[in-house]
Chain A
Amino acid sequence: MRYLDEYRDRDLAHRMINQIKKIATRPWAIMEICGGQTHSFMRYGLDELLPSQIDLVHGPGCPVCVTPLELIDKALTIALQPKVIFTSFGDMLRVPGSQDDLFSIRAKGGKVRVVYSPLDAVKIAKENPDHQVVFFAIGFETTAPVNATSVIQAKALNLKNYSILVSQVCVPPAMHAILSSPANRVQAFLAAGHVCSVMGYWQYHPIAEKYHVPIVVTGFEPVDLLNGVRMAVEQLEKNQAMVQNAYPRVVSEQGNKPAQKIIDQVFMPVDRNWRGIGTIPLSGLGLRPEYSEFDAELRFNVSHIQTKESEVCIAGDILQGIKKPSNCPAFGTACTPEHPLGAPMVSSEGTCSAFYRFRRG
C-alpha cells in the first residue's frame, strides 16, 4: 500500500539499524510516548535489533491504561441503569473496574455496544429516542476532535439523549510530569506522531529547552521508528536538545488548525487524574460550561464515586517508565490479557500486553 510498504522496507530498516549502531557510543534511555509505537517496536522486533546501549522506555501513551479506575466504575454504574445504551471503543470493555467490567455488565443484560467512532454513538442516539446513549470519550489529542464533533453534532440535531463520559488527556503535561519526577531516567523522547498531526509540535520547544531533552516527532512504521531513534541518538551524542520532525509527511509545526478549533469549541483544559500516576494539573480536557448538558457525569450524578487501586498492580511505575513488566511479580501469572489485574495488560496499546504478546521479559 502507498505510504506504507516503503516505510516497512526490511533492507532500509537494517541499514538504519547499522547506522544507529555506528553513532551510539554510550547507553541512552529513550522513551516512546505512544503505546501504538511500543507495539510497533515489538511487533517488528526492532527493540531486539537495536544495539544494547539503547534502552527503550515505554511511556504512558495508552489512553485505556491511564483512564482512572474510578471513571471505569462510573461507566459501570451508568451502564447498569435501565434505558441506557452505553457505547465505547472495544478496548475499554475488558478493563476491570473494582467489581466488574463492561463485558460482564453486558452479560448481565446491560446494553453495552462497541462503536468504531463516537459519531456512530450519535447515530444510535438518533435511532433510539427512548434511551439515553452515553459514549465513553477517552483518549489523547487524537480522539479529542472526533469526540468534540460528536457533541457539536448532537447539539445541532437537538438530541437530548446523548452524553459523553470524558477522560480526555494531553501529552505535553505528562512529559513535564515524567521529566520533573526524581525517579526519571528518560533522556530523550520520541513524540507521538499522530498526536502531533493534530496539535503540531510548537508546544514541545519549551520542554526540550527546560529539561535539555531531545524530542523527535516520530511515525509508526519500522523505518519511521528507527529514524526517530537515530535522530534522538544523534542529538544525545552531540549533547543537543532540539525538537525535530521525523514524520513530516504527516506532521507540521502548527498541526491541524481546524481540528484544534473544534477541540477548543467544546473542551477546555482541566486537571486530570492519570491511573497509576495521580493528578496532573491541566493535563486533560473537560467539557466547557456551555456544553455541560452533554456531560454524562452530571446527567447520571456519578461525580461522587471514588475508588482505590489494586495494591498488586505496578501500572503507575510501568506507565512512567520506572519499571518494566518483567519486574512485576504478577506479570504472566496472576495477570494475563485474559485475566488482567491492570489496564496496561488489557489494552492493545498497553506495555504489559505488548510484553506478553511478543514474549519479552
Chain B
Amino acid sequence: MCLGVPGKITEIYSLNNLRMCKVDFGGVIREVCLEALPEAKIGEYTIVHAGFALNILSEEEAQETLKALNELAEYADTPSHFDNEIDE
C-alpha cells in the first residue's frame, strides 16, 4: 500500500469540486486526486497512493542524490588508506 512509483502529470482539471489530474505511469494513464498539491503543474512528477497524489518530485534533489552516490561509489572502488597499509 505504501509502494508507489513516480508518474507524470499530463492534465489538471476540476471534478465535483475536487482538484483532479491525469497521471502517466510509463504509458498507463490514471485519474488521480490533486487536492493536497495546490501548486502542482503539468509535466511534474508525483508519487500516487490509492488515487491520491502525495508529493512532487524534486528534480534538483534527485540529481544531487545521484551525483553524491556516484561520487561515494567511486570512492568505495578506490583502495582505502587502510587497504594500502595492508598491501604494503
Contact = CB atoms under 8 A, between A and B. Distances in A.
A265 B16 CA distance: 19
Contact of A157 (B2, B16, B30, B57): B16
Interface stretch (A113-121, A277-285, A315-323): A113-121
B80 A258 contact: no
Interface in A43-80: 61, 63-64
A118 B50 contact: yes
Contacts, number: 142
Contacts of B72: 16, 19
B26 to A, nearest CB: 5
Given A12-B73, A36-B3, A192-B2, A1 B54 contact: no
Interface string B49-76: 1111011011101101110011011111
B3 A149 contact: no
Interface residues of A, number: 56
Interface residue range, chain B: 35 or more
A146 B49 contact: yes
A139 interface: yes
A61 B57 contact: no
Contacts of B55: 197-198, 250-251, 256
A4 B5 contact: yes
Interface string B3-34: 11110100000001110000000100010010
B69 A249 contact: no
Contact of A15 (B50, B64, B66, B76): B76
